Chains A and B, each alone.
Chain A
Amino acid sequence: MIFAIAARDELWAGGRRLESRLMHGIARQEGAEIVATDDADDALVAACEEAANAARPLAQSIDARVRLVVRATKEGVETTFTISIDDLAIVSTPEHVLDDVAMLRAIPRSPLAARRAPLVWHNGSASVLLHEAIGHAAEHDVTPVEWPEWLRVEAPLTMRRESFSDVPLLRMTHLRAWQDGAPFVLPEERVDVHLVAGGAYDPLTDVVTVHVAVPRFTLRATRAEIARALRGAAGEPLRYPGVICSREGQELHVPGAAPLMVTDPL
C-alpha cells in the first residue's frame, strides 16, 4: 500500500505571511511496517502549489490570523483556512471563508453562559457534539447507545493519516446529521450556542467533552446522557465552519453539518 502527500502550511497575520512550510513524502506499508521517506511525488507537489497559489490572495485579504493548509494526496486536494480573531477561531474552505469570517465577526461576544438552561445549537454547531459522541465513538467501536428516532447521522470512517510519517487510523471523513420529523420548541429560557472551540471523546470513560467558545463554557457528559438530552431539531443541516480533529497527534479536517438542535442542559 502506498500513500503519497504534498502539503503547504502557512501562517498569515494582517495580510503578511509569517511562516511557510512545504512538506512532502511517500509511505509504503507492508503488513505492520511502514517505510516513509520525504521523497516528492512531483505531480502532487505541483497540485499542492497550484492550490496554495490560488488560496494565498484570500489568506492575504483577511485581516486576522490565518493558517492556510493545502494537502494534496491521490484522493484530491484539500484547502482549509483556520481563522482566529480575538480568542475565537473557525475552520473554513475557499468557497465559504469570506462568509464564515463575516459570521465570526458578527457572533455576539457573550462572556459566560447562564448554565442549567436548555442549549440551542446554532450554525450547525450540534455537529461537533455529534462528531464527538457518535463519530469518535464509532472510531473506537464502543457499545452503541440509543439515539432519538428522528436523528439520522452519516459519519463514514476510513483509514486516514496527517502525514507520510504517521500511522493511518480509522477516522471520520465528515459528519452530517439530519432530523426527520423531530419535535422542536424554541425554549424561552435558553443558552444559545454559536461557536465551539473543540471537543473530545474518551473511550475509557465514555465521556464527551465539548468546549463551547460562544458563550464560554465546557460540558462533560456520557453518550447516553447526551442521547437522552436531545429534545428536538428543526430545518435542514447547516454547514458548521469547521472542525480540525486531532487524534494521536494527527490533525485532520472533518467537515460537519447539523440542523438547529435543542438539548436539555448538559
Chain B
Amino acid sequence: MSAYRKWGRSVRFENGTVVRVEEAGEAFEDHGEFIARPLRERRVLPELEIGSWQLAAAERVVVVDGVSLHEYGDVSWTERVRRVHVAVARAPFRMLLDEEPDADLLALFARVEGRRETPPRLLLAPRVTAAILPELVGRVELAQRAGETPDGYGRAVDSCAVAGEPPNWWRPSYRVRPRPAWFNLFALPFGRLDEAPRAIALLDDGDVLCTDGNAVFASRLSIGRVLAAGGAAAWYPYGAGAWGADMLLESGS
C-alpha cells in the first residue's frame, strides 16, 4: 500500500502568541500496523501571515491559517484552511464559536439573563445545526456534498446520500489513522420552519444560547424529533465538514 505524505505550513494566533509551524510527515500501513513519522524533507510552501486578535470578554482566541501539499500514490493535491475558535465568557456561561465572531451575536450573549427550561420546540441556527449533524445520521435524510479537496486517499469527494458506509476516508492529521467519514455533511431540506424560540449559538457543557422575543437565555440542547430543515447555509469544520442550516426540532425527553 502507498504512503500518504504531507508537507504543511501554518501560522496560528493563540491567545496572544503567534506560532509558525513547518512540518512534513508520512503515514502508511505495514501488516495492519499504522505507522506515522516525520519526513525530514521540505517543500516550498507559500508564506503565511496572521494579524493580532483582540476580543473583549474572550477567554480563548485561536485563529489558524494553513497551507499543505498532500500526496498519495500518483495523486497530489493542495489545501488551504482557515480555522477560528473563540470562547467568550460571561459567568457562568461560555459561548463557543468556530467562525469569526459576529458583533450582533456577541451583543446578544452579553445580554444572557440566566437559564430556562428547554423550550418544547427550538429553531436552530446553522452554527448550532452543523455541530449536531453527526448525531442526526439515521434520524433525518442527510447527504454528502461534493468538495474541491480529495479525501485522505486522494479520492474525489462526490455528492451522495448518507446511507451505509461512507465512501471516503478522513485524515485529521498525518499522525492519525484515517477513518471512514461523511464529508461536507448536510441535511436535505424538508418541512416548514415555523416560528419558535431560536438556539443561536453553542454554549459549553451541552447548552445553547437562545432567544425568544427580547429574552436571551441559556438552555440545555435536547434533541428530539426533527420537524423541518432549511437549505445549507454555511460550512463548519466539524469532523470532515458540516453544512449548517436552519432546523426546527422538538426537544427530547
Contacts and interface: CB of A to CB of B under 8 A. Distances in A.
Interface of A: 17-25, 32-38, 40, 165-167, 204-205, 248
Interface of B: 14-25, 32-38, 40, 59-60, 89, 91-92, 94, 175, 177
A24 B20 CA distance: 16
Given A32-B18, A36-B20, A40-B40, 14 more contacts: A20-B34, A21-B37, A23-B38, A23-B175, A33-B17, A34-B18, A36-B22, A36-B23, A37-B21, A38-B22, A40-B38, A165-B19, A204-B91, A248-B60
Contacts of A166: 19
Nearest to A36: B21
A17 B91 CA distance: 46
A246 B226 CA distance: 35
Contacts of B32: 18
B92 A204 contact: yes
Contacts of B36: 19-22
> Chain A interface secondary structure, helix, strand, loop or mixed?
strand
Nearest to B25: A38
Contacts, number: 68
A52 B213 CA distance: 61
B89 A20 contact: no
B91 A205 contact: yes
B23 A167 contact: no
A37 B38 CA distance: 11
B94 A34 contact: no
Contact of A38 (B38, B89, B177): B38
Contacts of A165: 19, 21, 23
Contact of B177 (A17, A19, A24): A19
A18 B33 contact: yes
A20 B37 CA distance: 8
Contact of A19 (B18, B23, B33): B33
A128 to B, nearest CB: 20
Contacts of A37: 21-23
10 contacts: A20-B35, A25-B38, A34-B20, A38-B22, A38-B23, A167-B14, A167-B15, A167-B19, A204-B89, A205-B92
A34 B34 contact: no
A18 B17 contact: no
